A and B are shown apart, each in its own frame.
Chain A
Amino acid sequence: MRIADLTSVELARRMRTGLLWRAGPFVVRLTTTAPIFPDQFLLLYGEHPLLDGSFGDVTDFHIELARGQGIRRWWRPKIFFSMDGPNPLAPFPLDHALPLFEWGFNYAIATRANQYLLLHTAVVARGNRALLLPGLPGSGKSTLCAALVLNGWRLLSDEFALVRPATGEIVPLPRSITLKNASIAIIRAYDSSAVLGPEFPKTRKGTVAHMRPPVSSVRAANDVAFATWVVCPHFHKEAHALMDPIPKDHGFLRLAGNAFNYELQGVRGFRAVARMIRGCQMYDLSFGELTTAVALLEELTAS
């Protein structure tokens, strides 16, 4: 059963007591009474599997988006993220529950999912060959990821590579792609069929909007892929699209440094990064214009 099989009213009712659903390998219980949020969630996560607990699924994350109490319920109302008790995320305005959920879920994965080597990167794939796009905020990672997905690439994640250290398999976590500021209009112009949720202005990262993951990617959430290309994007407004190979010794340091939990993984992480470096081509990609950058990536991965 999919989340979209519920009516809007039934979804909101279940969220009040805890909606049990699956995102990639994770079982999530999401509880909230935030208004509007269920409909926004439905738009982005409608194709995700709905669980009823009858198979004894172990819940990985108990997430609650709780409305402020006391004066914060009525004056400049706030929404608070919590996961198994206190957490370091500051509250958001009540009508920003969706971006708070997205960032809070990322925080939950980055701090808890240590059964994986967690790389901070977008991941797309053709078949089981994955292209990783690690980058700092503002590098163009999510914009490129969205454009490639609109070109038919399978979305594994906009934010994480969940790498099984023993095998190098990357486990998909197809969720919405968070677009920021100018990227929102760029993706709308790139492909008018892109389905985006509402825009949220004045967040700490500016205006954000979320692109719905393709149905085919959500349905392929059990199909692992292997790192084949690692391309580090660097967006500069005036830059011409240019791809430079990264030597493998530099690549090792870059990939290990990109992981949230490299040292925590110990020798498993060391061997996992080494395996990825041996099996991958790595490049830096400078670009100032999306279409040309996408064409370069398509050319690289077609060869």
Chain B
Amino acid sequence: MVWFVPPDMPLIWEQFEDAFFLFNPFSNETHVLNELAVEILQILRTGPASLPEILDHLGVEMNHVTDDTTLPYRKLLQELDRFGLILPVVP
């Protein structure tokens, strides 16, 4: 599956301490994100990417990738999708 950030959605950020606060103007909701979520959003902001491509951008060693090691990333992508911050590319 390939993901992307809707191109018309502005990412409105504020950082306080280690937390990133992201305002979603489409839902009027504020989300508190960690650094990994922010990095993934920034990767997807530059263009659509699949999970292996995202992991490559993040510098995750691809030789050792298993279903277990990708599980947190897959869950995070699902969460970002659920919040409407990213969308899957429909084939």
Contact = CB atoms under 8 A, between A and B. Distances in A.
Given A270-B23, A274-B21, A249 B29 contact: no
17 contacts: A248-B17, A249-B16, A249-B19, A249-B32, A252-B14, A252-B21, A253-B32, A256-B30, A263-B28, A263-B29, A264-B28, A266-B25, A267-B23, A267-B25, A270-B21, A270-B23, A274-B21
A259 to B, nearest CB: 11
A247 interface: yes
Interface of A: 247-249, 251-253, 256, 263-264, 266-267, 270-271, 274, 277
A78 to B, nearest CB: 39
B71 interface: no
A271 B12 CA distance: 9
Contacts of A251: 16
A256 B19 CA distance: 15
Interface string B19-49: 1010101001110100000000000000000
B18 interface: yes
Given A267-B23, A270-B23, A248 B29 contact: no
A263 B24 CA distance: 11
Instruction: Tell me if B's interface is mostly helix, strand, loop or mixed.
Output: strand
A249 B17 contact: yes
A71 B18 CA distance: 63
**Contact-size category for B:** 10 to 19
Given A252-B21, A274-B21, A266 B16 contact: no
Nearest 5 A-B pairs (CB), nearest first? Answer: A249-B19, A248-B16, A249-B17, A270-B23, A274-B14
Contacts of B21: 249, 252, 270, 274
Nearest to B29: A263
Contacts of B28: 263-264, 266
Nearest to A251: B16
Contacts of B19: 249, 252
B16 A267 contact: no
